[in-house]
Amino acid sequence: MPTLNLPTADGALSPFTMSTPKDFPTRANRPFNRIAYSAAHVVADPLSDADPWVEAAIDWDATIAYRVKLYDLGLGVAEAMDTAQRGMGLDWAASQELIRRSLEAARHIPGARIACGAGTDHLEPIPDLTLDDVIRAYEEQVEFVEGQGGRIILMASRALAACAKTPDDYAKVYDRILGQVREPVMIHWLGEMFDPALAGYWGHADHLEAMNVCLDLLAANASRIDGIKISLLDKDKEITMRRRLPDGVRMYTGDDFNYAELIAGDEVGYSDALLGIFDAIAPAASAALDAFAGGDGDRFHDILAPTVPLSRHIFRAPTRFYKTGVVFMAWLNGHQDHFVMVGGQQSTRSLLHLAELFRLADAAGLLRDPDLASNRMAALLATHGVAA
pLDDT tens digits for range 86-106: 989 999 999 999 999 999 999
Examine residue 171 and state whether it is found in any structural domain, yes or no. Answer: yes
Residue 217: per-residue pLDDT:
97
CATH number reported for the structural domain that contains residue 200 in this entry: 3.20.20.70
Closest CA to 279 of 348, 333, 316: 333
Tell whether the model's pLDDT for residue 125 goes beyond 90.
no
Sign of the dihedral through C-alpha 81, 367, 4, 383: negative
Residue 308: per-residue pLDDT:
98
Examine residue 165 and state whether it is found in any structural domain, yes or no. Answer: yes
List, in sequence order, every residue forming a beta bridge with 38; answer none if it has no partner.
77, 275
3-state DSSP helix/strand/coil % of the chain, to nearest 5: 45, 15, 40
Examine residue 206 and state whether it is found in any structural domain, yes or no. Answer: yes
DSSP line for 354-373: HHHHHHHHHHTT--S-HHHH
DSSP line for 67-116: HHHHHHTT-EEEETSGGGTBTTTB-HHHHHHHHHHHHHHHTTSTT--EEE
Report the length, in residues, of the chain. 388
Tell whether the model's pLDDT for residue 388 goes beyond 90.
no
Tell whether the model's pLDDT for residue 316 goes beyond 80.
yes
Tell whether the model's pLDDT for residue 39 goes beyond 90.
yes
The pLDDT tens digits for 160-198 are: 999 999 999 999 999 999 999 999 999 999 999 999 999
The pLDDT tens digits for 211-260 are: 999 999 999 999 999 999 999 999 999 999 999 999 999 999 999 999 99
Containing structural domain, residue 208: 31-349
H or E element, residue 221: none
Closest CA to 232 of 193, 185, 270, 180: 193
pTM of the model: 0.96
Residue 127: per-residue pLDDT:
81
Cβ atoms 252, 272 nearer than 8 A: yes
Residue 387: per-residue pLDDT:
85
Q: What distance in Å separates the CA atoms of residue 386 and residue 388, rounded to the nearest whole number?
A: 6
Residue 352: per-residue pLDDT:
97
Residue 124: per-residue pLDDT:
82
| pLDDT category of residue 27 using cuts at 50, 70 and 90 | very high
- How would you classify the pairing of strands 185-190 and 76-79? unpaired
Examine residue 8 and state whether it is found in any structural domain, yes or no. Answer: no
Q: What distance in Å separates the CA atoms of residue 144 and residue 152, rounded to the nearest whole number?
A: 10
Residue 246: per-residue pLDDT:
98
Q: What distance in Å separates the CA atoms of residue 252 and residue 272, rounded to the nearest whole number?
A: 5
Examine residue 138 and state whether it is found in any structural domain, yes or no. Answer: yes
How far apart are the two ends of the chain, measured CA to CA in Å? 14
List, in sequence order, every residue forming a beta bridge with 373; answer none if it has no partner.
none
Residue 41's identity, in one-letter code, is H
Looking at the 3D structure of the chain, how many domains does it have? 1
The pLDDT tens digits for 59-81 are: 999 999 999 999 999 999 999 99
Cβ atoms 343, 56 nearer than 8 A: yes
Provide the mean pLDDT of the chain. 96
Task: Give the count of alpha carbons within 13 A of 11, CB side only.
Answer: 0
Q: What distance in Å separates the CA atoms of residue 279 and residue 115, rounded to the nearest whole number?
A: 15
Examine residue 219 and state whether it is found in any structural domain, yes or no. Answer: yes
Residue 169: per-residue pLDDT:
98
| pLDDT category of residue 126 using cuts at 50, 70 and 90 | confident
Examine residue 383 and state whether it is found in any structural domain, yes or no. Answer: no
Q: What distance in Å separates the CA atoms of residue 136 and residue 80, rounded to the nearest whole number?
A: 19
CA-only gyration radius of the chain, Å: 20
The pLDDT tens digits for 258-301 are: 999 999 999 999 999 999 999 999 999 999 999 999 999 999 99
Examine residue 201 and state whether it is found in any structural domain, yes or no. Answer: yes
List, in sequence order, every residue forming a beta bridge with 77; answer none if it has no partner.
38, 114
Give the burial class of 324: count Cβ atoms within 10 A of its Cβ; 0-12 exposed, 13-18 middle, 19 or more buried: buried
Task: Could you list the beta-strand ranges (E) of 233-293.
Answer: 250-253, 272-275
